[in-house]
């Protein structure tokens, strides 16, 4: 039954991607955003989104939560439409103008030093553009990804990611962590999303409540004395993007894995507080 459902989803998505190609980027984003705002609130994740917002922002009333959730679904729709134009974002000078970079010098310094770093971020708006820009800047990069459950759709998305976002895509899991370790030892920087629940993580404070959090960045920091570079992306009203490269962070060799993980969570919190409408609230982040 699941295979039939996945196949129907695959056919529908292929149809929409073809439609988006005909409509062009601007109309596709408007159409997709409209559809997602209609169907999004009917998903099971609606309850999770409101629950997550209550944990992170207990002072918000129901109307304010609804505005954030509606904006999130609109963003989901735009991201979905943009996937079929990812090649253009990578190669077209016209699309390149849609992305403004804050602190490009930071990336140039990393490139010149030729010492691998750990880029950390969360699922903010079109997060794929961050890894794309880092790699385009000449930095050897490997990114962790979680394969889609849909076996028909996953090969398509992997192809898009490897060809236009970041060539070195490493699958999440134990074997992926080992591969990540090999890449880092060989001089490859790594990009990690630290905002998702991981069963093998540790319980760490996140917005005042314990959440299972990945320790991969902290472990690499302890093992290699590696520097961390936070990065985030924000969509403007005119659907352009600003990618911000934060200054490198060097932790003390005496800092524990727990302390480092907590500090990185605090950085992520600040990013979310600055722009809650563009973070993915549908993930069951605080499930233990």
pLDDT digits (tens, 9 = 90+) for 77-98: 999 999 999 999 999 999 989 9
pTM of structure: 0.94
What is the β-pairing status of strands 241-245 and 228-235? Answer: antiparallel
**Which run of H or E residues covers position 130?**
helix 128-136
Distance (Å, whole) CA 189 – CA 144: 11
The per-residue pLDDT for range 133-147, each reduced to its tens digit, is: 999 999 999 999 889
The answer to whether residue 199 scores a pLDDT higher than 90 is no
The answer to whether residue 288 scores a pLDDT higher than 90 is no
Q: Which residue has the tokens 């591969």?
A: 179
The per-residue pLDDT for range 230-256, each reduced to its tens digit, is: 999 999 988 999 999 999 999 998 999
What pLDDT is recorded for position 1? 79
Burial of 285 (C-beta count, 10 Å sphere; 0-12/13-18/19+): buried
CB-facing half-sphere around the CA of 246: CA atoms within 13 A: 20
In 186-231, alpha helices (H): 216-224
What pLDDT is recorded for position 43? 78
What pLDDT is recorded for position 27? 97
Q: How far are the Cα atoms of 62, 196, 269 from residue 209, in angstroms, in the given order? A: 21, 14, 12
E strand spans, 76-188: 99-102, 118-121, 141-145, 168-171
The values of phi and psi at residue 38, to 5°, are: -80, -50
Question: Taking residues 21-37, what's their average pLDDT?
Answer: 96
């Amino acid at each position: 039954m699941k295979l039939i459902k996945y196949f129907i989803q695959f056919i529908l998505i292929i149809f929409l991607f073809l439609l988006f190609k005909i409509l062009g980027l601007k109309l596709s984003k408007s159409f997709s955003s409209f559809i997602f705002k209609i169907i999004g609130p009917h998903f099971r994740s609606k309850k999770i989104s409101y629950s997550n917002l209550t944990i992170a922002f207990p002072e918000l009333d129901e109307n304010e939560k609804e505005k954030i959730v509606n904006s999130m679904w609109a963003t989901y729709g735009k991201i979905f439409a943009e996937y079929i134009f990812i090649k253009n974002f990578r190669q077209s000078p016209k699309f390149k103008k849609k992305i403004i970079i804050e602190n490009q010098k930071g990336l140039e310094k990393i490139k010149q030093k030729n010492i691998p770093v750990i880029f950390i971020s969360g699922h903010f708006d079109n997060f794929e553009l961050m890894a794309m820009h880092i790699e385009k800047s000449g930095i050897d990069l490997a990114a962790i990804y979680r394969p889609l459950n849909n076996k028909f759709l996953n090969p398509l998305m992997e192809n898009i990611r490897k060809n236009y976002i970041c060539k070195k895509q490493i699958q999440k899991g134990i074997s992926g962590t080992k591969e990540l370790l090999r890449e880092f030892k060989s001089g490859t920087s790594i990009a990690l999303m630290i905002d998702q629940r991981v069963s093998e993580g540790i319980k760490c404070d996140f917005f005042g409540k314990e959440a299972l959090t990945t320790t991969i960045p902290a472990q690499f920091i302890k093992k290699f004395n590696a520097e961390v570079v936070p990065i985030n992306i924000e969509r403007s009203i005119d659907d352009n993007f600003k990618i911000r490269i934060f200054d490198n962070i060097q932790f003390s060799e005496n800092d524990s894995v727990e302390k480092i993980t907590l500090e990185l969570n605090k950085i992520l919190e600040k990013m979310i507080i600055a722009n809650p409408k563009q973070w993915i609230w549908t993930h069951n982040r605080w499930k233990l």
